[in-house]
Amino acid sequence: MFREAFVVLQKIGKALMIPVAVLPVAGLLLGIGAAQFEWIPPIVSALMKASGDVVFGNLPLIFAVGVAVGLTENDGVAAISAAVGYVVLLAILGVMAGVWGIQPVTVMGIKSMQTGVFGGILAGAIAATMFKRFYRTALPTYLAFFSGKRSVPIVTALAAGVAGVVLSAVWPPIQRGIDTFSHWAAVSDPRTAATIYGFVERLLIPFGLHHIWNVPFFFEMGAFKDASGTVVHGDINRFFAGDPTAGVLAGAFLFKMFGLPAAAIAMWHSAAPQNRVAVGGIMISAALTSFLTGITEPIEFSFLFVAPALYVVHALLAASTQFVASTLGMHMGFTFSQGGIDFLVFNVLGRFAQNWWLVLILGPIYAVIYYVVFRAAIRWLDLKTPGREEVLVAAPGGAAAVGGPASSGSVAPGAATAGSDARARDLVLAFGGAANIASLDACITRLRVAVNDPSRVDERALRALGASGVMRVGRGVQAVFGPLSENMKTQMDEYLRASGAAPAPVPSPASGAGSPAAPAAGTVDAATRETATRLLKALGERVNVR
């Protein structure tokens, strides 16, 4: 059960990255527009601020669409269904608020209950579930127009209406719990909340579930009424609305910009002399990525599996950065991942940050702490961090990756092939071949693959292709390739489609026990296959169909 739950949570975590990916650009527009720089004309600043404001003001709808798209392999009908489902959910909640004697609020011009991004996520999940259940529905001839995918928005609206009635009864106590948590985390004891957040978030990184943990802190914690009278929630939204108590997760700037890059340098210096050049290329690149963007997985997965205890120490240090930052009154904003770009744009150049300059003092201190801890642990415990193992295998593009040689009969090291097509082929083979890939996704830093037979996945081959770590639970496999993961996923998807072996999503428990997955080779009945063959022939065979 845990393994199946992990696969489902992995899909949800990946789906949440679609709406989150909108935030950096929206935050950039909002941050620059709100700063009102003298060298930017006032009208341009106003336009930029309005563009960013509207995104942050409609996050629930964006989450609804993003979750639906992420859970249905980017299907546009699911996106429309999610939008329909969300507005229906809002309307039903508004009606039921009157029934239960609850004062409604206005959301997108609709009288409703305040469910925040959780309501959007629920609507997206409903749309995805209805899509998987009804996208192949066949209706009688006189209703044939509404068959197939056209039926999905209709049944989603009906399901959202039922969900709205049920939610109206259970949401008020949930809302009170969220309000209590929000007040504690934002007002009563933000230091403890930030410290706990920092520790747990790092522990969830290996499983790719930290996106789920982030949601209540980023988008629900606390409440603030801006100058226009609009109430905003979440640490990110409140910071950009000008709440002086927001920005309590500032400590992450310390370990993402300084601590982990220093750990990467420590691993480089600890590598065997003959491997230092190769390891240096990897670690310097990973350190720069962490410093500039706050993406830390390429560094963390370099030592996670060889030294889990060291990773726990890292999580404790990360928690300590949040404790120290909160104690010293640091309030800083971000939209992406607390790297150098966010530090410069939203804090150094922004209007709302408090005590951002302490990063320049505390950062080097944490760099020294990380370097000493990692260098000492690697040397005293003889940890097999990059460059200290017996074999260092070359990876594509002249980089190097940790691991032994690829197992025989699997896939050759990536350095032996060139080009995106060759890399996509090697990746498919490393995951056990096209027939073994049930579903294929990616988030910011990792490929997320559900496989039919986990024993066919070649971890050494994945490392030879550049993965800094491979995590597997049940049928779920995650390979960390850093920011290139999304491009790799696209290349693999194109390769699979070109070879006629596109992956089919495995049914999710969230979609019901009897819910059919998208059709895969061998799962279509004979009559349907014969009809499809005749249609294809009438259209001029496969070569004539784009």
Residue range 414-443, pLDDT digits in tens: 443 446 788 899 999 999 999 999 888 887
Judge whether residue 171 has pLDDT over 90. Answer: yes
pLDDT at residue 208, rounded to an integer: 78
Judge whether residue 178 has pLDDT over 70. Answer: yes
355 noted as active-site residue:
no
Active-site annotation holder among 248, 443, 450, 462:
443
pLDDT at residue 441, rounded to an integer: 83
Judge whether residue 191 has pLDDT over 90. Answer: yes
**What's the pLDDT band for 168 if we cut at 50, 70, 90?**
very high
Q: What is the DSSP letter of 329?
A: T
Average pLDDT over residues 118-138: 94
Distance CA 133, CA 337 (A): 36
Beta bridge partners of 446: 480
Enter the tokens of residue 208: 């790719």
What pLDDT digit, counting tens, does each position of 284-321 carry?
999 999 999 999 988 998 898 888 999 999 999 999 99
Radius of gyration from C-alpha coordinates of the chain: 25
Q: Are 200 and 213 in contact (CB under 8 A)?
A: yes
The phi and psi torsions of 449 (rounded to 5 degrees) equal -125, 130
**What's the pLDDT band for 394 if we cut at 50, 70, 90?**
very low
The phi and psi torsions of 455 (rounded to 5 degrees) equal -70, -15
What pLDDT digit, counting tens, does each position of 486-515 carry?
889 889 988 888 876 656 544 443 344 333
pLDDT at residue 513, rounded to an integer: 38
Q: What is the DSSP letter of 331?
A: B
What pLDDT digit, counting tens, does each position of 231-263 carry?
899 999 999 999 999 999 999 999 999 999 999
Average pLDDT over residues 217-244: 90
Distance CA 446, CA 483 (A): 8
Choice between 502 and 163, residue whose per-residue pLDDT is larger: 163
**What's the pLDDT band for 88 if we cut at 50, 70, 90?**
very high
Choice between 365 and 406, residue whose per-residue pLDDT is larger: 365
Q: How far are the Cα atoms of 290, 318, 365, 370 from residue 262, in angstroms, in the given order?
A: 10, 14, 10, 6
Give the chain's mean pLDDT: 85
pTM (predicted TM-score): 0.75
**296-335: burial string, b at 16+ Cβ within 10 Å, e else:** bbbbbbbbbbbbeebbeebbebbbbbbbbbbeeebbbbbb
Distance CA 187, CA 519 (A): 51
Judge whether residue 528 has pLDDT over 90. Answer: no
